[in-house]
Structures are given as C-alpha cells and as structure tokens.
Amino acid sequence: MISDIIKSITGAEPGKLPKAMAQTFHGLYGFRSGGEGIAHGGASGGAATQGLAEYVLAVASSQIILLVDLANSEETDIPF
C-alpha cells in the first residue's frame, strides 16, 4: 500500500522524490507500525516519549510540505 505509493513517486527525474528522502517515509511509517502504544504498534517498539512525538510531527509536516512542492512543480498552468 504505502510502499507502492512511495515507490511510484520516487526517482531521479524532476518532480520525483529522491530515494534517500523516500526512505524517511518508510521509516516514519515503520515507527508508526512498531512503536509501543502507537496505532497498531507492538510492545517491543519502544515507548513514544514527548520528544519522539515532537520529532515525528516535525518530520511529517516537512514531508507534507515536500510533497506539496513536488506536486506544484508538476503544474503547468496557474490553477486560478
């Protein structure tokens, strides 16, 4: 699912997500899946401290900004 989406937007071409940046999406999703008390997280993934939560929010917000910028770079016409 998310792995396929990340793969489809990853590449060296303009408007694509560089491979190293794509790995951050996998890492953040992996933390979501494995962190203790997070989503469907396991008990062995470690507890989510306030510091980790702040880090995850900062990375996620940066990822959103990057994805919007990449999508906007593909726009050929001004949308208004």
Instruction: Tell me the pLDDT tens digit for each residue of 35-78.
Output: 666 766 556 666 778 898 899 899 999 999 999 988 888 777 76
- Among 12-16, 23-27, 73-77, whose mean pLDDT is lowest? 73-77
Instruction: Report the pLDDT averaged over residues 14-29.
Output: 89
* pLDDT score, position 54: 92
Tell me which range, 1-5, 17-21, 74-78, is most confidently predicted by mean pLDDT.
17-21
pLDDT at 80 over 60: yes
Residue type at position 46: G
Task: Report how far apart, in Å, the C-alpha atoms of 27 and of each of 6, 17, 19, 72, 77 are.
Answer: 12, 15, 13, 25, 34
The structural domains of the chain, with segments of one domain joined by +, span 2-73
Look up residue 8 and give its two tokens. Answer: 């489809």
CB 17 within 8 Å of CB 9: yes
